[in-house]
C-alpha cells in the first residue's frame, strides 16, 4: 500500500521531535481520522533555519510531515507557503487516495506556524 519512500520516512524520520526554542508553532488536526500534527519553526532573516514536527498519526501522516520539513528547510516563508500537498505526495511516490489528506494536514500546520510567527 505504501511506497518505499513513505516507509523510509515513517521508520526513520529526520525531523521528528519537539523544538524547545521554536520561534513559531502550528498545529493542525483531522477529525475524520484522528491525525494531529505540530510543526516547529526556527526562523532567521525570513528563512526557515530549522523545522521539526511531532505527529500522532499513521505512517502516511508521519512520512508527509517529515517530507514537508525537508522541503521547507532553507526556504523563505513565502516559498514554504507555496509548497503544496501535491508536492509532498509526489515526493513520496504518490500516497494512496485514502491518505491524501495527510499531506494537506502538513500544509495547514505550516500555515498556522507562519501565521504564529508573523503575530510576534
Cell of 113: 506556524
Question: For residue 73, what pLDDT is reported?
Answer: 97
Measured CA to CA, the distance from residue 54 to residue 62 in angstroms comes to 8
Cell of 83: 509548497
Catalytic positions are 33, 102
Task: Write down the H helix ranges in the chain.
Answer: 4-11, 59-72, 77-81, 85-91, 101-119
Spell out the domains of the chain, with CATH numbers in brackets. Answer: 4-119 (3.90.1010.10)
Measured CA to CA, the distance from residue 36 to residue 33 in angstroms comes to 9
**Among 51, 67, 78, 62, CA closest to 11:** 62
- Band the pLDDT of 3: cuts 50, 70, 90: confident
Cell of 99: 491518505
Q: Are strands 24-29 and 36-44 parallel, antiparallel or unpaired?
A: antiparallel
Question: For residue 2, what pLDDT is reported?
Answer: 86
Question: For residue 96, what pLDDT is reported?
Answer: 77
Q: What is the pLDDT of residues 59-104, one digit of tens each?
A: 888 999 999 999 999 999 999 999 998 899 889 887 778 877 778 8
Q: What is the pLDDT of residues 4-50, one digit of tens each?
A: 999 999 999 999 999 999 999 999 987 677 789 999 999 999 999 99
Amino acid at each position: 500500500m505504501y511506497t518505499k519512500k513513505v516507509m523510509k520516512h515513517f521508520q526513520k524520520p529526520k525531523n521528528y521531535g519537539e523544538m524547545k526554542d521554536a520561534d513559531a508553532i502550528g498545529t493542525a488536526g483531522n477529525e475524520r481520522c484522528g491525525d494531529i500534527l505540530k510543526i516547529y519553526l526556527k526562523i532567521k532573516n525570513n528563512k526557515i533555519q530549522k523545522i521539526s514536527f511531532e505527529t500522532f498519526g499513521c505512517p502516511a501522516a508521519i512520512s508527509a510531515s517529515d517530507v514537508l520539513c525537508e522541503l521547507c528547510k532553507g526556504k523563505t516563508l513565502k516559498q514554504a507557503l507555496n509548497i503544496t500537498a501535491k508536492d509532498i505526495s509526489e515526493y513520496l511516490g504518490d500516497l494512496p487516495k485514502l491518505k491524501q489528506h495527510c499531506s494537506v494536514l502538513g500544509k495547514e500546520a505550516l500555515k498556522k506556524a507562519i501565521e504564529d510567527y508573523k503575530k510576534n
